[in-house]
Amino acid sequence: MTYRSQRVAYPYFVVALLLFGLQLVLGLWLAFNYWFTLPQAIVDVFPFSTARAMHTNLLVLWLLLGFMGATYYAIPEETQSELAWPRLALAQLVLLAGTGVVALVGFLFGWTQGRPLLEIPRPLDVLVVVGALMFLANVGATVLRARRFTATQGSLLAGLTFLALLYLVGIPFYRNLAVDWYYWWWVVHLWVEGAWELVAAALVAFLIIQLTGIERRVVEKWLYVELGLFLFTGIVGTGHHYYWLGAPRYWLVAGGVFSALEPLPIALMLVDTWRHMRASRRPLRPRLTWVFLFGMAVLHFVGAGAFGFAHTLPQINYYTHGSQVTVSHGHLAFYGAYVLVNLSFFYFAVPRLRRFPTDEYRSALGHWGFWIASVSLLGMSLAFAVAGVLQAYLERVQGQAFMVAQAPMRFWMLAAFLHGLGVLVGGSMIIGHLLTLKPAPAA
Amino acid sequence: MTERSAKLVFWAGTLVSLVLFLAMTADTHRHFAALTHADRLDERVVAGKRAFELRNCNDCHTILGFGAYYAPDLTRAYARVGEETIRSRLERPAQVLASSWRKMPQQHLSAPEVEAIAAFLRWVSEIDNHDWPPQDSEARWRASTRRLLATAALSPGAALVQQGGCLGCHALGESGGRVGPRLEWIGARRDAPWIAAYLADPQRFTPGTSMPALGDVPAAQREVIAEFLVSLAPIRGREP
């Protein structure tokens, strides 16, 4: 840490980690609902739908707070100047976290916009937009005052601006359900396969420049290529969600071709990370930070690239669309890409924010946490995948009724739940470890 | 690769994709009205969509395949189970789904809301979305039933169904109403003894249903009808 104002990042990370823990608990509850028959009295008071709204909104909220905190850490280093308004950054955290908590409590009482992932009611959307504007103004002013522009910060800023603009598309009420879903995907797909990829790629580039000492020019050259491929495949790739919503048939071709190419930039990111690690001018230390960073590159490719590709072609998607196959892909992709990129950044930044004598920290608990969470999450995604393939065959090919087909899936949802316990244990270890990080004893 | 060509990849990739995407979006809007039958999208349908969102239905059910995967897809629910079944599930989920091992929360909907959601689901069921989902493909139902009826002209069950006025409320193949569930759908879910028992006294299974009891019809004929319904869906699974 070189600049005082970078310290605002720390409370962002703390809030993000606490929300992450709550997200895991709710996820476990959802998995429980899938194999255990809850009595009507509980279902009437706390239905699956409410828990799911909380689970997904917590995910989005904590990942975004993590990205924002990471940006507040990275921007001063990139611009070589203090943040424009550090106090505004803290006010923004209070506003966004407060809005999130109000929204979560509101869900419990049935206050919702009622559209998956965009359940935050419209009056609260205004507060979210205010928070996003505070963020963009703060970062924008810092960059403009410093007059120092880098590709890394450009990618970060472009991703975050793009992200904020797309959120606006999700706010209005659409009369036509097909049009509604058409623009819903502008938020959801263009976030995770567009804007968020820009942010993640920028944060990875930042970490690599900081940790390896490789020349910025080299890292950023490949960043340009990654971003070009992400956006080339990802923008028209939105079409893989337009196959069955009442849009013209050409989306089957456009969505199929472009989304089949979507694994390429992720593969390039994995290769780039590997090459930069080999070319590193410094030892790859601390080891746990690199475990997270490289684990991110690998699981990002497996979850988002490979699992996504597996059901993106229209011929397959006709049978797997809206089944547990989607759930399998969603969990591994979010974990591999965005959970791990956030956690990697936290592991990089926390020792610096807390001014450890060296950047080394005691890491045993974190190592256990990483492996328990990652292996459990992989197992959970595989359990969802088996359930999904069963569902695709029994319900979609054979034509069994939904609940009939769910019966043989029940065992696999139990398997997913048991792996979910592992994710909760591993995740709690990571959260506890990061919140109580201690410097390594002097050698 | 030089820095210059890396930047070129970035700008060319981004702009080509963006322009193509926006052009296709503009064109898609020219087709939405016809593909979704926007002329039938009246205020009642919109009220139904609002009620559907207000109750957060989409965080258990999928519709057009989007949403949560906890409960059945609703894209073709109207065509599959018919209006009366939809109403009864909306009004009394705890009773109607009492035997299910996954419960639907009681929604406390007003009569106009039930009306509106039914209208919404009816409009959705007519969206032309390349015949998704496969399990509700009307084209597949019609084709299999057409084949069956062509070869089974002498099937006494088929004759009883056609003469008995069942198609006034139920869909079968190309014809029939949308008050009750599609007959093929019933055959897919239930076995013959269950259907025969249901025919004798529907009120015992679904209190308040408008399905008339066939208690006066000889038991042998009820069994023949039940056998016919089951034969409509030979490979499909059944609820125990």
Over residues A254-310, the pLDDT tens digits come to 999 999 999 999 999 999 999 999 999 999 999 999 999 999 999 999 999 999 999
**A132 CB contacts (<8 Å, ≥6 apart)?**
A164, A167
Q: What is the DSSP letter of A370?
A: H
B175 domain residue, yes or no:
yes
Output the domain CATH number for residue B57. Answer: 1.10.760.10
- Report the candidate in A191, A314, A335, A193 with the shortest Cα–Cα distance to residue A264: A193
- Tell me the mean pLDDT in the region A210-238: 96
Q: Containing domain of residue B122, as a range?
A: 36-131
CA distance B90 to B82: 13
Q: Is the pLDDT of residue A315 over 60?
A: yes
- Say whether A58 sits in a helix, a strand or coil: helix
Structure tokens at A408: 């043989």
- Tell me the mean pLDDT in the region B194-205: 94
CA distance B216 to chain A (A): 31
- Check residues A417 and A1 and name the one with the higher pLDDT: A417
Render pLDDT for A403-430 as a digit per residue (tens, 0 to 9).
999 999 999 999 999 999 999 999 999 9
- The amino acid at B239: E
Structure tokens at A117: 């992932």
Q: What is the DSSP letter of A51?
A: H
Contact B63 A251 (CB under 8 A): no
Same domain for B81 and B63: yes
Chain B residue numbers with beta carbons less than 8 Å from the beta carbon of A258 are 17
Residue-level pLDDT at B154: 62
Domain boundaries, chain A: 1-149
- Report the candidate in A351, A375, A373, A354 with the shortest Cα–Cα distance to residue A362: A351
- Tell me the mean pLDDT in the region B160-177: 89
- The amino acid at A387: A
Residue-level pLDDT at B238: 46
Residue-level pLDDT at B230: 87
Same domain for B56 and B122: yes
Q: Is the pLDDT of residue B152 over 80?
A: no
Render pLDDT for B44-53 as a digit per residue (tens, 0 to 9).
999 999 999 9
Same domain for B110 and B181: no
Render pLDDT for B66-121 as a digit per residue (tens, 0 to 9).
999 999 999 999 999 999 999 999 999 999 898 899 999 999 999 999 999 999 99
CA distance B114 to chain A (A): 17
Structure tokens at A373: 């969470």
Binning pLDDT at 50, 70 and 90, where does residue A443 land?
Answer: low
Triad B221, B225, B230: Cα angle to 5°: 145
**B87 CB contacts (<8 Å, ≥6 apart)?**
B114, B118
Mutate which: A107, A109, A176, vs B, most B CBs within 10 A: A176
Q: Is the pLDDT of residue A47 over 90?
A: yes
Q: Is the pLDDT of residue B237 over 50?
A: no
Contact B17 A236 (CB under 8 A): yes
Q: Is the pLDDT of residue B234 over 70?
A: no
Q: Quick check: B183 and B170 in contact, CB under 8 A?
A: yes
Same domain for B219 and B142: yes
Number of domains in chain B: 2
B239 domain residue, yes or no:
no
pLDDT above 90 coverage of chain A, percent: 98
CA distance B213 to chain A (A): 25
Chain B residue numbers with beta carbons less than 8 Å from the beta carbon of A238 are 21
B63 domain residue, yes or no:
yes
Chain A residue numbers with beta carbons less than 8 Å from the beta carbon of B186 are none
